[in-house]
Amino acid sequence: MTDCIFCKIASGILPASIIYQDEKIIAFDDIYPKAPTHKLIIPRKHIATLNDLSAEDKGLIDEMTAVAQKLAVDLKIDQSGYRVLINCNPDGGQVVYHLHLHLLGGKRLTFKEW
């Protein structure tokens, strides 16, 4: 997707503070952090929303949550706690239409983060 911000980050056209990458997944700092730790975990493949995840993407969410789990340990928020969430479409608060997990932690979270 040529005009997708997250595709541009995944392909290196746009800069980001990347903290993890493999052949399918990339993770980087959210530019507008809502918590002391706020990372985004995205597939390299352009998938607009959770609604667009198909059978051919089987296992992808598992891999993304496995990256969240690993980052929580690396960032030392696994024991204090964290939140992983996906916003879908306008009522879900989605702004960037490229599937992503938010990983939030480093403070006692409320539901005011969204």
What are the catalytic residues? 100
Residue the block writes with tokens 């980050």: 9
The binder of ligand DGP chosen from 3, 23, 32, 108 (CB under 6 A)? 32
The letter for the amino acid at 77 is I
Say what the alpha-carbon torsion angle 6, 60, 26, 104 is, to the nearest 10 degrees: 90
For ligand DGP, give the closer residue by CB, 77 or 102. Answer: 102
The binder of ligand DGP chosen from 12, 36, 81, 93 (CB under 6 A)? 93
In angstroms, give the least distance from the CB of 87 to ligand DGP: 4
Binding-site size for ligand DGP (CB under 6 A) equals 13
Nearest Cα neighbor of 77 from 114, 106, 51 is: 106
Specify the stretch interacting with ligand DGP by CB under 6 A; choose among 18-26, 41-49, 65-73, 92-100: 92-100
Tokens of 14: 């746009």
Tokens of 66: 């496995």
Residue the block writes with tokens 């990983």: 103
Q: Tell me if 16 contacts ligand DGP by CB under 6 A.
A: yes
The footprint of ligand DGP (CB under 6 A) covers: 5, 16, 28-32, 40, 87, 93-96
